[in-house]
Structure 1
Amino acid sequence: MLITRAFVVSALAMLLLAGCSGKDDSPDLEVRQLSGSNGEITETLTDGGQTADEAFMADLSATLNLSFKIIHAMGEKDYSYLESVAAPGVTVNKEENRVYFERGGEQLSWDFLQPVTLDKLEYRFSTYVNEQQKEFLAGFAIYSGDSHSTVEIYFVKQGDVWLFNGLLTNA
């Protein structure tokens, strides 16, 4: 009995010591290490410490707010506001109620949008226009009865500020 007890105690001591080797191969540790690495990689992909998703959401928020203000300003014929947010190369013509701008190497002009209430305006899409993420496009639908027209509003980033760079519509 004494030999059996000594054998069991010795076996338990060896198992405990073998289990405490200091090496942690648990899957939880691997997941934590990989998650940490992924976070560091994502952080290095964008400037200013923002992830790509955070940067896009900030740009989307800024351009959507600007879009609503531009649409409202056109409806109210608020020329001073439109001129204040217009990029270089965009001209607001007060006599014609038109916007002149360059798109794709061509000089274009478009009439101001008519007044629109928010219940007739629907956000459709947005995207960066180029890889440098310095041009942005926001798309909307304006409903009238059973039909709708599409409005694309273009922006260009100068410094940290988005500026109105023209619009295309079938309205």
Structure 2
Amino acid sequence: MNNLKQLKSVIAIIAVLTLILVTGCTDNKSAEASQIQENLLKDSSQTSHEEQPENKVQIETFTSKGGGFSLKQPEKWNDQVGAIDEKGDPIAGTEWETSFYLLKDGKPDIDAGSIMTITKMTRAQYDSIVAEEGPSSQNILGESKEFVWLMTTPQSNPYDDKSEEYKRFNTMLVDAEFIKMHFKVNN
């Protein structure tokens, strides 16, 4: 009988200890999970597109003083795409042109053609082009009282379809909506 009482006592003690251990572990895991969740929320609220953790690629911003704009470039363009930023053609009515090219040997491959061009033109020139059934409003990136900024993209890939450049060029093409979201007219 004594042995039975001792056995019941041992079982009761083991049950209590098991309960304490299970409760303790559950509370710790719960507390750890809450802490991890709080840290993630804290980190995400402090991280912006321009200040990202070291393990993420930062979005580069291209600024054209002559063109009067800035553009947060797609992350995939980093070390893949370069820009030629130059005065426009007064005869064509363009004030400034910035063309983005695939890099070949570290330099913009201007012979192949651009991935995208941003053109700054006077409002008067833009209005005369529109009157002649010119560019549609979907190509407009920005406007001011004096100027209009337009985006043009190539009609086709300029590289041989079996080349590595052909694949890279297609990969670097971007959606017009992305460019519109990341384009800013500078004052």
TM range, smaller chain: 0.3 to 0.5
Q: TM-score, normalised by structure 1?
A: 0.34
